Amino acid sequence: MIVEDNFFPDPKEHAPTITVDEICERFSAAGLPCKFERQDEDVRVIFDGRRCNLLFTVNASGNLMTATLPDESDYDPEFARALFDVFESIGWSYEPTKG
């Protein structure tokens, strides 16, 4: 499956206060074990056993600002459902790339 999807917080309702450690804990609790790598001002979350990863932008305080699911991903419906549930739990919305 080739997709590029974006996830955004609603800053009026959910200020960006979650850190990469916290989101990784939530992914792991949802059955999506992962690790992260810092890359300049971004953080890449890599899911164990998958080509799928997320690229987060991070503010100066270390809180996550946006997330992008890059275009070459190997996620299935169960993985996608767990991923979306984690984002919903922190008040982030989903916006598919139009194209």
Query: What are the tokens at 24?
Result: 């990784």
Express each pLDDT in 12-59 by its tens digit: 565 568 899 999 999 999 999 999 999 877 899 999 988 878 888 888
Which pLDDT value is given to residue 1?
32
Q: What is the pLDDT of residue 13?
A: 60
Q: Please give the structure tokens belonging to residue 59.
A: 């503010």
Greatest CA separation for the chain: 36
Q: What is the pLDDT of residue 6?
A: 66
pTM of the model: 0.80
Q: Are 18 and 90 in contact (CB under 8 A)?
A: yes
What pLDDT, in 10s, does the model give residues 66-78? 888 776 666 678 8
